[in-house]
Structure 1
């Protein structure tokens, strides 16, 4: 069961994944998202980190594609995406960790420019530009502080996954993860 907030978040997420804006998500969109992330972070496309990110995104896509493409036409429509994501992540199902954890870990590797195993506020801001968010520096810093559950000034994979989980499953209006891709 979805509500208006969750519907808006899923619509926003679909728009971020639909890189070429053709109202379907396919493998080209996922590759485009990875390329946009690498470009925003200044990561060479041939680096080991880039290879891991692209592999993580392809694995993520293959995992989700199996669940979302209901008519098996090789594309995911907005309605398939919304219905599938709602079904896939209801009750914090195991599919969430199976599909999102490897992708988040791969992205953490490339976003973590200083290789310290965590994301700084500056690294977070740069990564947000890949998702085409219009977050100001102040809004990005405020969002970062809300996601930083242990208040250590950095984001871990688990903290990012918590925010992503809130984004895709949460219906509470004040959840920090709601703002992951900018103001709704």
Structure 2
């Protein structure tokens, strides 16, 4: 996870991330897709964000707030593509985000849906470029599995900011 991710998640800009910051970001993302956190999609996304928070804080010794330095250290050590934390925490989060932005229910956000996702989370990457590179079955969309594998490789083209 990156410096930009910390800045995005530090919702009240106090130099630390707390559970309330993570929940606020989840609510913002959910709302941007016209969902409520009470829907199945909304609950899954909220759970994904909270899962990331719970995992990161457990790896930081149970802290209830993470400074930028703590966040970056714990993220780097525990959330890279080869860690147990990645599969346990990031895969469910990515799956929930894919379901949230997949407005037509086909299991794969298409170019316009994926582009909207990138705008909502402020990823700063081009949807067409990402789709062209990581749509391994060339059907014009990214499944949760395709996206997980692309992010897990640690290729550098996609950053965690893509995830919200």
Query: TM exceeds 0.5?
Result: yes
For structure 2, the 5+ residue unaligned runs are: none
Q: In 2, Cα distance between the equivalents of 1:102 and 1:160?
A: 12
Q: Which of the numbers 58, 71, 92 marks the counterpart of 1:81?
A: 71
Shift of 1:101: 0.9
What's the RMSD between the two structures over aligned residues? 2.4
Seen in structure 2, the aligned counterparts of structure 1 residues 90 and 121 have a Cα distance that, compared at 3 Å, is closer
Give the count of matched residue pairs. 162
Aligned residue number for residue 87 of structure 2: 97
Shift of 1:65: 1.8
Aligned residue number for residue 152 of structure 1: 139
Seen in structure 2, the aligned counterparts of structure 1 residues 164 and 32 have a Cα distance that, compared at 3 Å, is farther
Q: Deviations over 1:7-26 (max 9, x none)?
A: xx621222222222222111
TM-score by length of 1: 0.76
Q: Which of the numbers 119, 134, 139 marks the counterpart of 1:129?
A: 119
Pairwise mapping of residues 57-72 of structure 1 onto structure 2 (< 5 A)? 57-67=49-59, 69-70=60-61, 72=62
Seen in structure 2, the aligned counterparts of structure 1 residues 100 and 134 have a Cα distance that, compared at 3 Å, is closer
For structure 1, the 5+ residue unaligned runs are: 1-8
Seen in structure 2, the aligned counterparts of structure 1 residues 23 and 147 have a Cα distance that, compared at 3 Å, is farther
Seen in structure 2, the aligned counterparts of structure 1 residues 22 and 144 have a Cα distance that, compared at 3 Å, is farther
Q: Which runs of 4+ in 1 moved over 6 A?
A: none
Pairwise mapping of residues 11-22 of structure 1 onto structure 2 (< 5 A)? 11-22=3-14
1:177 is paired with a residue of what secondary structure?
coil
Q: In 1, Cα distance between the equivalents of 2:148 and 2:107?
A: 15
Contact 1:147 1:155 (C-alpha < 8 Å) held by counterparts: yes
Contact 1:17 1:25 (C-alpha < 8 Å) held by counterparts: yes
Aligned residue number for residue 50 of structure 1: 42
Aligned residue number for residue 6 of structure 1: none
Aligned residue number for residue 15 of structure 2: 23
